[in-house]
Amino acid sequence: MKRRAFILASILIISLCGCTVSPPDSAAEEIVLYSWKLKSDDNSKESRGKLSFENRNIILNVKKTDKSELKLNEYYEIDNDKIIIVSEDYGNIVFKYKLYGNELELSYDGSALRFIKVS
């Protein structure tokens, strides 16, 4: 009886070991694991946007207060401090990034967008 309980407990423990999710090893890995939404300002007229990653594509949608819009669904590469978007329409776009806990800052050509982790 004890032997059977031991075997069942061992099988259960081994089965559950594969169910745990390990934390990301780097900022780059954390960025692509989650979806992000544009951090809103205190203004009533605020920009809206979302950032996510699917397979090897970055999906970036930003609608600014001046009604201009940026929509990208392009191949990307990411390293320790930048995301390179390979766009057929715009060429290569390089965003520098900084991760501050649950906030992500993307900067490009002197401008910055701040995102909040959502999932």
Quote the pTM value. 0.73
Mean pLDDT of the residues in the chain: 84
User: In the predicted model, is pLDDT for residue 57 greater than 50?
Assistant: yes
Report pLDDT digits (tens) over 83-97.
999 988 889 999 999
User: In the predicted model, is pLDDT for residue 82 greater than 80?
Assistant: yes
Give 35's DSSP letter: -
Domain ranges within the chain, ordered by starting residue: 24-117
Give 24-117's CATH code, choosing from 3.20.20.60, 2.40.420.20, 2.40.128.50, 2.60.120.10.
2.40.128.50
- What pLDDT, on the 0 to 100 scale, is given for residue 68? 83
2, 7, 9 from 15: Cα distances, Å: 20, 12, 10
Give the highest mean pLDDT range of 4-8, 44-48, 105-109.
Answer: 105-109
User: In the predicted model, is pLDDT for residue 20 greater than 70?
Assistant: no
